[in-house]
Amino acid sequence: MSQATLTDDQMQSVMRGMAIPVQPQIMVDLQMEQAMPDPDIKEIARLISRDVELSGSVLKAVNSPFFGLRNTITSIQKAVMLLGINSVINMVNSIAIRSELSQLDNMSDEEINYMNLFWDAAQDVALVSTTIVRQIGFISPDEAYTLGLFHNSGIPLLAARHKNYHEIIKESYSGSTKRIVDVENERLDTNHSVVGFYLAKSWKLSPAICDAIGQHHNTIELFGQGNSKGSDVMNLLAVLKLAEHIVGLYKVLGNTDTDIEWNETRDLIFQYLSISEDDFDEINITCQENGIGLNSGP
């Protein structure tokens, strides 16, 4: 089941009974300011500072070893000035999305632990995606970050609705003859790519990002068709797949030692991006040096 094959009525049927969270207001407000011809740093800082808990989370992230700042940052405005508007807004979006989609009620300790690992991995994929783009180009770092953070957003929604959903995901990653989403389709009559696409669309993310979310487990077919370079969706997916493997998402979500999807698409993606195995190793090393490259295995 692909989002591209669903009519609006079919989409509503798939999503029936599932509560799609409203986009956090802070994301809406920041998107509006970011779209202005000359975004106002003071206004952006003011919007973020209205939420004490969010401000604290942003400052904690800004002062983490990842950014390597010499002096402790104690104001949101200073953080925006030092890191840039887009970087801080990405950070806010990450915190807001996790807060909005983390529905842990009635979950077992094992399920809660799995979801915490899921969100940590989503953040890592977003950061690695940004690092990759800064080395090879193809798309903007902000688009790469947004897709990396949001591409599996259907997982927490399905986990909140279906008991032991994490076991279905683990089974999905361990299969060698199916796409990852096929097990979900058989068990649930939907999958996290479709749910994520619908959520991204309702939150008014860009069409390319929405489509990439909906197609991110159809990459064997897409890259196998020899699609020409230049497609925004294909560029996004190529970077995403590099990032997923570097982070070791198959280990985190699937509890497996083999990245089956990567093994089947690696050469096609290298060819699409015109990079070699050595180029990829250099990207991996850079990520590890930044503290975000977690995996270099098969």
- The per-residue pLDDT for range 38-95, each reduced to its tens digit, is 889 999 999 988 888 888 888 888 887 767 777 888 898 988 888 888 888 888 888 8
Residue 108 covered by a domain = yes
Q: How many domains does the chain have?
A: 1
Q: Is the pLDDT of residue 2 over 50?
A: no
Domain-located, residue 294: no
Angle (CA) 279 281 285, round 5°:
120
For residues 186 and 177, give the distance between their C-alpha atoms in angstroms, rounded to a whole number: 14
What is the span of the domain harbouring residue 272? 3-289
Query: pLDDT tens digit string along 124-152?
Result: 999 899 889 988 877 888 889 999 999 99
Can you give the CATH number for the domain in which 274 is found? 1.10.3210.10
Residue 295 counted as domain residue:
no
Residue 296, domain member (yes or no): no
**Per-residue pLDDT for 269 more than 90?**
yes
20 close to 198: Cβ distance less than 8 angstroms: yes
**Does 19 reside within a domain?**
yes
Q: What is the pLDDT of residue 81?
A: 87
**Does residue 215 lie in a domain region?**
yes
Task: Give the pLDDT of residue 197.
Answer: 92
**Contacts (Cβ under 8 Å, ≥6 apart) of 281:** 296
What is the per-residue pLDDT for 9?
58
Cα Rg, the chain, nearest whole Å = 19
Extract long-range pairs of 107-115: CB within 8 Å, 24+ residues apart. 107/159, 107/160, 110/166, 111/159, 111/164, 111/165, 111/166, 114/159, 114/166, 115/156, 115/159, 115/166
Q: Which of 103, 188, 204, 192 is nearest to 146 (CA)?
A: 204
Average pLDDT, the chain: 84
Provide the pLDDT for residue 296.
42
**Residue 30, domain member (yes or no):** yes
In a domain, 138, yes or no: yes
